[in-house]
Structure 1
Amino acid sequence: MLTRENDVEVHALHNRGWTISAIARHTGHDRKTIRAYLNGERTPGQRKKPAEDPFAPFLDYVTARLIEDPHLWSRTLCDELEDLGYTQSYPTLTRQIRVRGLRPRCVDCAQVTERANAVIEHPPGEETQWDWLELPNPPDEWGWGSTALLLVGSLSHSGRWRGYLAPDMTRPQVIAGIDRITRRLGGVTKTWRFDRMATVCHPATGALTAEFAGVAKYYGASVAICPPRRGNRKGVVEKSNHTAAQRWWRTVPDEVTVEQAQASCDKFCRTRSDVRMRRTRDGRSNVATIAKREPLSAPPAAPYPATVTEMRKVSRQALVAWKGNQYSVPPELAMSEVVVSERLGDRHINIATASGMVIARHRLAPAGAGAQVRDHGHVVALDALAQAGASSSRRPHRRKERIPPGQAAREAAAVLRRTTTPPEQASVIDLSVYERAAQNRTHLP
């Protein structure tokens, strides 16, 4: 097949007096092909149809399969056809499906994207939308693996939103995030809207769990669960997720701590998101101004009494990092794993071993203050242990040092030689051997 560009070149060369053979050698095509295009027997850009269509025997099967399953992969269909004797290539199959229009339009899926959407009213103070946002590639120092999580809460009327960084989606983290975000949004709306997250409801039925029902009653908010496959019902928080991922998370540097990243998220919301201009009935106002006018209920004086628990590693100085501060533990636990638990609303944290034994309890310092909270007993024990190690006569080995086998090793080697070396054979002298040798010798050497 010649393209239109090749066809123009062939005709130009022919007009200059080139022979068909010369044009064929120059373009790398067969002479019969060049002659057919010069005589107008073939159309540039169109392949010559074979006398028999090799795809025709498989047309009925492909049509039936794609009617049954409009989303069937062409690669899967090609596997089925190869078992039925199909010898053409996979690109040929996809081209035939595309050219012949064999893949039907899925009516069930089209109604999701093409159906009419009603305009959803969001009265002031009516609804807060909640959603989890997965953030890839957090800094390695956080120790959260390959994904960090951001709980986002957004006021449906004004669009004001706040986020809460968390290592997992457990119920205590959800409760801690809801309390923190609610206080930074200015209060509690009448309704909280969630998708079917397992910490709030049963995903299969949408029924509220007994544990989260107590949380909703504590804050005085009703809970609305989105119907399945209705993401547009909470479009306000979905847009906030998009903004958080593209405008904030993409710019977070590698060397920040969790607390610094949380502070930068709060700053972004105040300085960037809250200054967005929105149309109102009274004209244009920014998000912060509209949010202040929303009639929100005051949150409870104390957070819901949930306990947030996380695993942490003790440093060599017997300190445990927690929310931007460090808390001491007995020096015997240095470089080991401990469990830190904080009950929301309580001003203390408990540090326990992996088996659950509480070995330290400290008063909480302000988050991100960089304070070191150390128990006097822990300080004394750590100093004593460090001095004992420094005054010890034992020293680490140098890389190049001569250390010959000691007395115990030499004694063990002697035992091994006695048990593994075979006894020496006694020498037996037979004089008859020498006599025979002398009799057979006939001349001096």
Structure 2
Amino acid sequence: MLTWEDDVEVHALHKRGWTISAIARHTGRDRKTVRAYLNGTRTPGMRKSSAVDPFEVFLAYVTARLIDDPHLWARTLCDEIEDLGYSMSYQTLTRKIRELNLRPICRACSTATERPNAIIEHPPGEETQWDWVDLPDPPPSWGWGSTAHLFVGTLACSGKWRGILAPAMTQPYVVDGLDRICRGLGGVSRVWRFDRMATVCHPESGRVSASFAGVAKHYGVSVAICPPRRGNRKGAVEKSNHTAAQRWWRTVADDLTVEQAQESLDRFCRTRGDTRLRPTKDGKASVATIATAEGLHPMPATAYPLILTSERVVSRQALVSYRGNRYSVPPELASVAVTVTQVLGTDVIDIVTAAGITVARHHLAADGTGAMVRDHGHVYALEQAAMTGANTGRTHRRKERIPPGPEAVTAAQALRAALDAAAGVTESSHESDCTTSASDRSGAVVYDLSVYERAARGRNTLS
């Protein structure tokens, strides 16, 4: 069975033109095994023995003892478990400790400043080092919160580097950065070196993850993972991080957009980073000159097809901003949050609502050109909506006489008629009640003089 690292190595060698026999001799594997993994009929890490592992019963004890004492000799540990019934060999114990990564690293005893550091040779085109660097206080207009992220790739031999700004350190942004940076560097090296990024490997064991193995196969590279707390293994990219933070990021203005800041970084790398002089066997040469001798492999025609998503808010003009350009959506989505999705390697984007409905698809314009890509249907719908809501009447002066119109007069007359009718019914019922009460008491007809009083009220006494 091959591990993910072995599988990536086999595919990388095969893309370089190695035969199956040569790969088998190089890796110490059988040719049928190599062919099966190249054909995709076998998957790394999927084989599981049907027999019960006799070492399983001693796993808890061995793990606990090595946690207690990381420096415990395997021979001493073997003596202890032999008294507990262990009957296998000493070599089996050491192999299990290596395979299961049971011996922890003693952090108290491993400090980089107190041990000798070897000089690591970097042949041309051999290794590209990758790392993230956090950039505090990005411009508020970016909407990225308190921290921006820069993905940096550095050729270990020449020191040539490029970087890509990103709002998050997720795997889609890693793959997007790998593709764009490699195209900026001029090609792909034979090995990619990472620290223990969760988007590349399992941080605890350092083994390449299944999701990233496909990325490495697509670009035909081998993956090297740094041991924990060994930052000096990728010192070239660490120095590039320091340069990016201190010489470029500190000078970025607040009024720059993300695309303008990215262009500023690319210009800094070309004019400042690539013109640095470095010592060579023949004297000194610039980074750009040394990089021409790297001998990098050509890039694949397209990027690895991973889905990249970005959250956006639609403007009042029904436009969505993405990578320095604007793309149209239906007008009813104005001021609504949407998601822009792009499959890396393609030239189209989809705009999706919160309900998961794709409402628009556009061809990508070149980044940062300020282009406005609009669908004809969206333009027509937006114009109709704008005209419907527009006020086409004459504006009013502050002091203007505007009497009630015909409709208002008609409504007022109807209200007055209703009020008069209600008042007449009330008076009639009151008079009837008073007359009936007087007749019942005396048995005679009694006239209510208040009726005459109301009739005479307000009349003139003189004719």
Which of the five TM-score ranges fits, normalised by the shorter chain? 0.5 to 0.7
Q: 1:108: how far off?
A: 3.1
Higher relative contact order (CA 8 A, sep 6+): 2
1:171-250 map, 5 Å: 171-250=171-250
Label 1:394 to 1:178 Cα distance change in 2 as closer, same or farther (>3 A): farther
Alignment-mate amino acid for residue 339 of structure 1: T
1:342 is the counterpart of 2:342: yes
- Counterpart in 2 of 1:370? 370
Alignment-mate amino acid for residue 198 of structure 2: A
Alignment-mate amino acid for residue 371 of structure 1: A
Distance 1:110 1:155 in 2: 28
TM score, norm. by length of structure 2: 0.62
Distance 1:282 1:181 in 2: 29
- Counterpart in 1 of 2:26? none
Distance 1:146 1:266 in 2: 23
Q: 1:152: how far off?
A: 0.1
Q: CA RMSD in A?
A: 2.2
Alignment-mate amino acid for residue 142 of structure 1: W
- Counterpart in 1 of 2:136? 136
- Counterpart in 2 of 1:327? 327
- Counterpart in 2 of 1:382? 382
Distance 1:347 1:254 in 2: 30
Alignment-mate amino acid for residue 375 of structure 1: D
- Counterpart in 1 of 2:281? 281
- Counterpart in 2 of 1:354? 354
Label 1:394 to 1:385 Cα distance change in 2 as closer, same or farther (>3 A): farther
Alignment-mate amino acid for residue 164 of structure 1: I
Per-residue deviation, residues 398-423 of structure 1 (Å, max 9, x unmatched)? 9xxxxxxxx9xxxxxxxxxxxxxxxx
Distance 1:394 1:351 in 2: 40
1:312 is the counterpart of 2:312: yes
Distance 2:220 2:167 in 1: 27
Alignment-mate amino acid for residue 124 of structure 1: P
Distance 1:323 1:387 in 2: 30
- Counterpart in 2 of 1:150? 150
- Counterpart in 1 of 2:121? 121
Unaligned runs of at least 5 residues, structure 1: 1-105, 399-406, 408-445
3-state DSSP class of the match of 2:239? helix
Q: 1:307: how far off?
A: 1.3
Distance 1:351 1:244 in 2: 33
Per-residue deviation, residues 365-414 of structure 1 (Å, max 9, x unmatched)? 11111000011111111111111111488999x9xxxxxxxx9xxxxxxx
Per-residue deviation, residues 262-293 of structure 1 (Å, max 9, x unmatched)? 00000000000111100011211010000011
Q: 1:303: how far off?
A: 0.8
Q: 1:352: how far off?
A: 0.6
- Counterpart in 2 of 1:89? none
Distance 2:199 2:395 in 1: 54
Alignment-mate amino acid for residue 127 of structure 2: E
Distance 1:251 1:211 in 2: 37
Q: 1:199: how far off?
A: 0.4
TM score, norm. by length of structure 1: 0.64
Per-residue deviation, residues 282-317 of structure 1 (Å, max 9, x unmatched)? 211010000011111001011111111010000010
Distance 2:394 2:273 in 1: 61
- Counterpart in 2 of 1:298? 298
Label 1:135 to 1:107 Cα distance change in 2 as closer, same or farther (>3 A): closer
Distance 1:394 1:121 in 2: 80
3-state DSSP class of the match of 2:390? helix
3-state DSSP class of the match of 2:326? strand
3-state DSSP class of the match of 2:108? helix
Q: 1:345: how far off?
A: 1.4
Distance 1:112 1:287 in 2: 28
1:263-278 map, 5 Å: 263-278=263-278
Identity in percent: 65
Alignment-mate amino acid for residue 169 of structure 1: M
Displacement over 2 Å in runs of 4+? 106-112, 391-396
Alignment-mate amino acid for residue 159 of structure 1: G
Alignment-mate amino acid for residue 212 of structure 1: F
Distance 1:364 1:281 in 2: 46
Label 1:145 to 1:349 Cα distance change in 2 as closer, same or farther (>3 A): same
